[in-house]
Structure 1
Amino acid sequence: MRPLQELVEYSSSLHGHLCAGQILGVRMAMVGCREIDIEEPRGCKKLIVYVEIDRCATDAIQAVTGCSLGKRTLKFLDYGKMAATFINLQTGKAIRIVAKDESRSQIPAYVNGCSNQHEAEKSAYLIMPEEVLFDIQPAKIQIPAEDMPGLRGERSVCTQCGEGINFRREVQINGQIFCIPCARGSYPTQSRKQRLAASHPKVLLVVGGKKSGKTTLIEKLIPELCGRGYRIGTVKHHHSSSPLDVDRAGKDSWRHRKAGARFVALVSPTEVATFQNTDEATPLEEVIGSLRDVDLVLVEGFRAESKPRIQIRGGLTQNASSYAKDKYLLALVSPENPNGEVPCFRPDEIRPLADLIEERMLSGSSSTLTFHPINDKHSPR
């Protein structure tokens, strides 16, 4: 191991200043590594250190040992004690070192003539004998499997906040899983259900006649909006009362449904597909309410819904001025310029149409649609 003075200089350069806590931490780490037979700790994969205070000494211990929270080799126990436990994973040998409070009272016996108490502490801690500075005791430590470096354990989800929990840190209360802060009531936050309700996705209908280009328009809008950082979902209205043909005959999920299951879920590591038989048409709001982690839902069809919409217009078959009476109409998509008061885009003008969607539906919280004359910035022609 490198000399004390060299380690103190290195540690203080990382920490940002030299203080008495830095010197204590460096010496504590040097003693701890020596006592568990680790000659050079940096780069060593058999060392774990538990520190019991979040002060300058902890930075010094990290600098000397190379242990860190990110590598899961430095563990923080919030006990408020100037203490650390050093463990050799290979041999199981462990030592706990505590800085003695009474060592401060002995500083005058080792230094004098210092300008202030802080300088006296730094000078004394460099030369005080270990037995004066520290209480050094063997320890018996059984490290839980979830605290070991390199562990890739199961992940659970908190019932309250909906956030993921790693390394078996969940708490079970009445059969439900909570993260530690939620179990203690420490988070001044909404529940998962409340947050999902508050973050209900915006809905934009894409309507038009059969073969008018609704699917093609949605297909082009999705990558444009996703590229701007928005999470997009889609819903397609199936007009026929015949069964949906989306499951492959002979597959396990198909066999489950064929056997009479009303609800079937197909789950992979990255996808979930569900099939559900219903006695009547499912309302659009119910479908939207089941979506998660989505900012905007593009809905193909559902013309009767009272929601913002894009109307695809195949030609000049309808008086353009009549569209302005539709308070839910966001824009027209048409190969012709209808010369009306509603913003109109050609089918290939995806970027300006996405600009309008972003401004009117995704940038603010207002649900009121205000239309501009046809010659404004949203009307490319």
Structure 2
Amino acid sequence: MKIIGLIVSSLRRDHLGLYGNRWLKLEHFERLGKAATVFTEARCARADAPSIRMELLTGLDSRRAANSDQFFNNYNPSLTLPAQLTQKGYQTALFTDHYPMLWVYERLNVFDMIHFVPGQAADRHLPEGFASAVYSKKDNLSKILTGNKANVPECDRNRFLRNQLNSQELGHPAVRLFDAAGRFLNELDENSDWFVLIDSFGLTPPWNPPADFTHFRVREDKNKIAWPLPCPVDLKEEGIAKQINFFRRAYADQCLFFDAQLGIIESSLTSLIKNGRNMFFIMSDHGVLIGDDGGLLHCGGGESDVVTCQALVMAGSGFSKEEKVAGEVSTVDLFKTLLHLAEVEKPPLSDGKIIDFPL
């Protein structure tokens, strides 16, 4: 049995470093296997979040297209990462709570099974009910996900949904996402090979914001909450230090929370590797960066020439013969390398190249 697992998450790079999150530290994976390669700076070709998914799954440089529609007209469905692994006998599954990225997966239409967990702060359309939705690629994805549009302000709608989830004791979306993925990994058939992608929205606003949550705003807009759409700020602006300190506190709580949830996956993966199964992971981030100088920066949405990411690829069962920290890589290179590690014979040409590290 062989498993290839990718984790793509919107965890913020600087937050991980500032608040002691162990996810990107190599020693955190000693229990999972001593062979690992850490990519400290993975970059996609364009500064929008969808291109990370597009490039990882297709191996094509997103700069080849003027827009997303043109990109989807250029890629070959049979040459996507899931499709090539399917041809090699793998079954494919997607676990996600990242609603804004579902249109990418809908257009690619390459997964045998998708498990969607609603309730993250970026949900624009709330699915019917609050339970997870599991469906196959034969189902109508758009119809399932846009069945209910609440006619209330977005921040109130998101808070309402989280409160409903909490009152029903269904837990935070990230908890339910990783819990579902962990159970799925543990229950896989011993005689099957799987490609599993876990795409998490990452950090979300605090469960119970402090009373001054709506007081600190990037812009003087009393009708909008500052989270989760910060923009560039002038550090000389009166009161900005208080706002930055607030963001630091809020993000610190979330990093500690999310790090604990990763233990759910860690325990599942530990048992799998002990049984001699192979797996790889990628984690990337994009969006808000809080610098060591206290500056609040915005990186994404087309306002930057690249998206700076944290990525980790881990190989179990002796793929990698020694630990090595790699430098800057591209997502299309990771696409090519994952196919190589999966032993896909003579992978078709793509815009990427195999990353040079010991195998």
TM category, shorter: under 0.3
Give the structure-1-normalised TM-score. 0.24
User: What is the TM-score normalised by the length of structure 2?
Assistant: 0.26
State the structure with bigger RCO (CA 8 A, min sep 6), 1 or 2.
Answer: 2
Return the index of the structure with the highest Cα Rg: 1
